[in-house]
Homo-oligomer: A and B are copies of this chain.
Amino acid sequence: MEYSELPANAAEMRLSPYKKDFQHSYVFGVFPIIELADNRPSALFRIILSSKLGEEGRRLLTEKAAAEGVPVTVDDRTIERLSPKENCFAIGAFRKFSAPPDADTDHIVLVNPSDRGNLGNIVRSAVAFGFRDIAVVRPAADIFDPHAVRASMGALFRIRPAYFDTFDEYLAAAGRRNLYPFMLCGSPMEAEAPDRTLPCSLIFGNESAGLEDAFAHMGTPLRITHENTVDSLNLTVAAGIGMHWFRQEVH
């Protein structure tokens, strides 16, 4: 795992509202901060508490911080400055992280996802279905945007994310594998069983445009069977159904 470099004074520097080009991001709420401390301890560099945080949450986070050697401060003004919502009582500041895709594992590949909330929700589903490597092809929403972090419900800290400028760049890094692009011209997923003789990649396109035609000639394009009264399923729903299909052994 690679972690972003922070300035030497990261433990004391004034924290500003998130911007995409930051080397760090924020996670809001006690439970997601604990997920961060437990699963990506090297990324966590600071915990800020609201004076309104309850006894139990304060105890839990103070213990975690001590265990990881991370500074904790009670600082309502920083909370107010960084949090988009009023009922935020704890913030974890963490370094961004990434990892080249593991050639031996199954991957989720998101090509040009445009919605940060979808990105976070897909991360949540991916972890639920046992995927750890998530590749994102640009242009794409920012997986470290606090909205995406929030939607992932802490699952972001269990994955190995990697961004690529092109799908070919991903392929070159991913190792030999079976490709399953999800697209309307694919064959019915329900009649296929995943071929696990190699590691696999499930590939999902943009919310509006889907995957471009070139993917129809890669691996085994699949379609989720549904009535044509709606154009398509929501990306998060389609990805969830695809992952569930891949993990089930009943076929």
Measured CB to CB, the residues of A under 8 A from B are 121, 124-125, 127-130, 153-155, 158, 190-191, 224-227, 229-231, 233-234, 236-238, 240-241, 244, 247-248, 250-251
Contacts and interface: CB of A to CB of B under 8 A. Distances in A.
B230 A153 contact: yes
A109 B160 CA distance: 36
Given A124-B233, A237-B236, A241-B244, A129 B227 contact: yes
Nearest to A131: B227
Contacts of A238: 240
B124 A230 contact: yes
A106 B248 CA distance: 25
Nearest to A129: B226
A176 B102 CA distance: 51
Given A124-B237, A234-B236, 4 more contacts: A128-B227, A128-B229, A155-B229, A190-B250
